[in-house]
C-alpha cells in the first residue's frame, strides 16, 4: 500500500481519537471537578437565654430601735399565770424569774400574791441549804476566815452563817459551806415609801420605810459605804451615844451617800410616813435582815422618784 495512504489513515485515526476524548470529557465520561458551591457563613448556635425579667429587690429587714415599754397590766397578768404554772411543776428558777417580771406591772391583790410567791421562792433558792443554781459549795481551806470567804463572794459573812445554820463565825478546814454569789442591791421608791431588795435584777423582798418630812433624799444610784451595829447619833444639835435609849438610829446603820443612810428606829409608828430628817427608816427586824444582805462597795442603793 502506498505510504501516503497509510499516513493519511493514521492521521484520521488520531484526529478521531482526540475528538472522542474531548466529547467524553464534556459529557461526563470522566468525573468533572466539583463546582464549588457558594459559601454560606456559618454562625455558632445562639445561646439560649431567658427573656429579661424585672427583678424586684426584696425589702431588707432593718432593726428599728424599740423604746422600752413598761409591762402592761394584761401582760403582767399573763406572766403571773405562767409563773404560777412553772412553780407548780417544780421549775422554781424559771418561776422566780417570771414572777420578778410580773411584779413590776401588777397592782392590788395580784401584786401581793406575786410578791409573796416571789419572796418564798427567793428564800428557798438563796437562803436555804438545799441545792439551787444560785448556791455553791465551798470547801474551807487552811487559813480561811469566814470574812475572807464572804468578801470573795461579795456578801456579808452573816449571810453565810444564816444559810448554813452556823452557831458562830468559827470554821475549820474541810468544812463545806453553802454560799451565794452576790451582791444584793436595793431600790428605795420615795413615792410609795417602800424599799425593795433585788438579786441580779430579780425581786427578793419588799419592806415599808419611813422617809424625810421635807423630802430631801436625793435621787440616784449610790454604793453602800458603811455598815455599823449599834451606831451613835452624831447629829450636831443633839448627839447621842450608841447605847442611849433615845438614840433614833436603832441598832443598824447602812450608809450610802454622805450622811444619808438606812437605819432602824425607836419609833416604829413612823414607818410609812414622812417624818425623819431625810434618811430611810425601817423596822428593827427588817433593817437587821437587810444588814445581813448588803455589803460595802459592791451593793448599791438606788433612790427612785427622789425629790
Q: Where are the domains of the chain?
A: 71-126, 134-182, 184-304
Q: Note the pLDDT of residue 236.
A: 58
**Average pLDDT rounded to a whole number, residues 59-83:** 60
Q: Note the pLDDT of residue 212.
A: 83
Average pLDDT of the chain?
81
Q: Note the pLDDT of residue 233.
A: 82
**Torsion-angle region of residue 208: left (phi > 0), alpha (psi -120 to 50) or beta?**
beta
Residue 222: pLDDT over 50: yes
Dist CA 203 CA 246 (whole Å) = 35
Dist CA 281 CA 198 (whole Å) = 19
With cell 410616813, the residue in question is: 273
More confidently predicted of 25 and 236: 236
Dist CA 150 CA 182 (whole Å) = 9
**Average pLDDT rounded to a whole number, residues 59-84:** 61
**Torsion-angle region of residue 193: left (phi > 0), alpha (psi -120 to 50) or beta?**
left
Phi, psi of 168 (to 5 degrees): -155, -170
More confidently predicted of 64 and 165: 165
Q: 2.160.10.10, 1.20.1070.10, 2.40.440.10, 3.40.50.300: which CATH number matches 184-304?
A: 2.40.440.10
**Average pLDDT rounded to a whole number, residues 99-128:** 94
Question: Global pTM?
Answer: 0.73
**Average pLDDT rounded to a whole number, residues 198-219:** 89
Q: Note the pLDDT of residue 11.
A: 65
Residue pLDDT, tens place only, 127-150 = 998 888 888 999 999 999 999 999
Residue 40: pLDDT over 50: no
- For residue 207, the 8-state DSSP code is E
Q: Note the pLDDT of residue 137.
A: 93
Laid out side by side, the sheet with 252-257 consists of 226-229, 252-257, 260-263, 280-281
C-alpha of 226 from chain center: 31
More confidently predicted of 128 and 217: 128
| DSSP E strands, 85-225 | 135-139, 176-180, 184-189, 194-199, 202-208, 211-212, 220-223
CATH number of 134-182: 3.10.350.10
Residue 30: pLDDT over 50: no
More confidently predicted of 232 and 66: 232
Grid cell in block for residue 101: 417580771
Active site residues: 263, 279
More confidently predicted of 278 and 93: 93
pLDDT > 90 in the chain, percent: 58
**Average pLDDT rounded to a whole number, residues 275-288:** 91
**Average pLDDT rounded to a whole number, residues 263-271:** 93
Dist CA 92 CA 85 (whole Å) = 10
Residue 27: pLDDT over 60: no
**Average pLDDT rounded to a whole number, residues 279-287:** 95
Dist CA 274 CA 189 (whole Å) = 13
Q: Note the pLDDT of residue 129.
A: 86
Q: Note the pLDDT of residue 103.
A: 92
Judge whether 137 and 176 are in contact, CB under 8 Å: yes
Residue pLDDT, tens place only, 155-205 = 999 999 999 999 999 999 999 999 999 999 999 999 999 999 999 999 999
Dist CA 71 CA 106 (whole Å) = 9
Residue 129: Cβ within 10 Å count: 12
Judge whether 287 and 188 are in contact, CB under 8 Å: no
Q: Note the pLDDT of residue 20.
A: 58
Residue 46: pLDDT over 70: no
**Average pLDDT rounded to a whole number, residues 36-45:** 38
Q: Judging by DSSP bridges, how do beta strands 194-199 and 184-189 pair with one another?
A: antiparallel
- Nearest residue to 217 via CA among 247, 250, 242, 195: 195
Amino acid at each position: 500500500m502506498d505510504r501516503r495512504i497509510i499516513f493519511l489513515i493514521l492521521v484520521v485515526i488520531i484526529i478521531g481519537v482526540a475528538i472522542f476524548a474531548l466529547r467524553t470529557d464534556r459529557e461526563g465520561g470522566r468525573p468533572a471537578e466539583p463546582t464549588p458551591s457558594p459559601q454560606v457563613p456559618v454562625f455558632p448556635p445562639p445561646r439560649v437565654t431567658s427573656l429579661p425579667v424585672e427583678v424586684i429587690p426584696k425589702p431588707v429587714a432593718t432593726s428599728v430601735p424599740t423604746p422600752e415599754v413598761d409591762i402592761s397590766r394584761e401582760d403582767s397578768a399573763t406572766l403571773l399565770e405562767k409563773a404560777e404554772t412553772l412553780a407548780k411543776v417544780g421549775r422554781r428558777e424559771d418561776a422566780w424569774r417570771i414572777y420578778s417580771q410580773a411584779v413590776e406591772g401588777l397592782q392590788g391583790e395580784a401584786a401581793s400574791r406575786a410578791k409573796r410567791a416571789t419572796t418564798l421562792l427567793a428564800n428557798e433558792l438563796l437562803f436555804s441549804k438545799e441545792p439551787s443554781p444560785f448556791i455553791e459549795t465551798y470547801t474551807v481551806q487552811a487559813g480561811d476566815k469566814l470574812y475572807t470567804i464572804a468578801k470573795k463572794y461579795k456578801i456579808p459573812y452573816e449571810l453565810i452563817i444564816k444559810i448554813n445554820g452556823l452557831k458562830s463565825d468559827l470554821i475549820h478546814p474541810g468544812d463545806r459551806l453553802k454560799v451565794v454569789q452576790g451582791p444584793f442591791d436595793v431600790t428605795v421608791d420615795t413615792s410609795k415609801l417602800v424599799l425593795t431588795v433585788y438579786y441580779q435584777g430579780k425581786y427578793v423582798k419588799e419592806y415599808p420605810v419611813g422617809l424625810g418630812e421635807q423630802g430631801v433624799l436625793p435621787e440616784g444610784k449610790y454604793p453602800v459605804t458603811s455598815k455599823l451595829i449599834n451606831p451613835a447619833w452624831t447629829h450636831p444639835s443633839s448627839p447621842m451615844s450608841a447605847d442611849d435609849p433615845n438614840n433614833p438610829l436603832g441598832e443598824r446603820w447602812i450608809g450610802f451617800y454622805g450622811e444619808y443612810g438606812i437605819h432602824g428606829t425607836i419609833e416604829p409608828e413612823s414607818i410609812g410616813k414622812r417624818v425623819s430628817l431625810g434618811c430611810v427608816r425601817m423596822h428593827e427586824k427588817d433593817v437587821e435582815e437587810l444588814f445581813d444582805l448588803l455589803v460595802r462597795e459592791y451593793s448599791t442603793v438606788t433612790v427612785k422618784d427622789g425629790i
